[in-house]
A = this chain, B = another copy of it.
Amino acid sequence: MPDNAQQFASDNYSGICPEAWEAMAEANQGHQRAYGDDEWTARAADHFRSLFETDCDVFFAFNGTAANSLALSALCQSYHSVICSETAHVETDECGAPEFFSNGSKLLTARTEQGKLTPASIREIALKRKDIHFPKPRVVTLTQATEVGTVYRPEEIQAISRTCDELGLNLHMDGARFSNACAFLGCTPAELTWKAGVDVLCFGGTKNGMAVGEAILFFNRDLAEDFDYRCKQAGQLASKMRYLSAPWVGILQDDAWLRYANHANHCAQLLAKLVEDVPGVSLMFPVEANGVFLQMSEPAIAALTARGWRFYTFIGAGGARFMCSWDTDEARVRQLAADIRQVMS
């Protein structure tokens, strides 16, 4: 079971969903204007504006690292700092990309509760240093859903936004799994972003059925000034842009993005439910999005691995992360749950 066994390793191990693929196939006709001056890109941008119920500025970048880094560098200067969770992808898994794109902005990690920043933890970091010898806080970045599978409620985001306003901070959202957050809460995208005070959203497509092409949405359009130049200079302007934008048309036009997110979330819930009574297994975090974080025994983890299952264990001793995806197979979820039960017995 070489391939299927990787189904829980990461949602970016998955392939391209049919809707995205078909849109790409349809886009693959003849010659089209390059660098985003094509019809598909215009259509995708319109879909975003319609979905978010606002006239936002829309850009595309090749991957999430670039999307986040470009957005953050538009929100601050090199001598500013960015407040993030200690588990934020920008801090732990982007190899210093935010620092590189911004020419040196420092990331300041704040305490979290179940992976989520709070007004209090932001305030604590933002007010710790007010002198010129330390980079001035200028941005808060939230990850929605978080890296530990939890989801910010609209009122939590609103409260953070109020804190940002008070402290002169811009608010960025890393939405690599934004779809899963929407699906879990049943909120509209608008409710989770600009209506709650988010300035810029990086909306991830890769983890929800696309090959490349994250969308960057500026709700605060002043912050988007010359952002097209920024993307170009940073090597993030696709010449054949239609292949980045068409897939978005594909997954946005009939709500495939939400359907798939619901499916992935459902699989995560199923896995959690199937193992909830297994002795020695406990949830490390509430299952809200598409990830399940289980506290198990180290030998059990080794035994699971020996059976061919692939999953990440970066969370600490005995911790295992199982990610579900748009194409996760329920039968495989049940098999995995059964194996977890066995290795723990």
Contact = CB atoms under 8 A, between A and B. Distances in A.
Contacts of A179: none
Contacts of A136: 226, 229
A15 interface: yes
Interface stretch (A43-51, A90-98, A118-126): A90-98
A69 B64 CA distance: 20
A216 interface: no
Contacts of A112: none
A104 B100 contact: yes
Interface in A219-265: 226, 228-230, 232-240, 243-244
A99 interface: yes
B97 A235 contact: yes
Given A34-B12, A101-B235, A96 B77 contact: no
A212 B243 contact: yes
Interface string A61-73: 1111110011000
Oligomeric state, in copies: 4
A163 interface: no
Given A28-B15, A30-B15, A226-B136, A69 B235 contact: yes
B133 A62 contact: no
Contacts of A28: 15-16, 21
A226 B79 contact: yes
Interface string A3-15: 1101101101111
A143 interface: no
Contact of A95 (B13, B63, B97, B232): B232
18 contacts: A3-B29, A6-B33, A9-B33, A12-B240, A16-B240, A62-B236, A77-B230, A78-B103, A78-B230, A79-B95, A79-B100, A93-B134, A97-B232, A99-B104, A100-B103, A103-B104, A104-B233, A132-B237
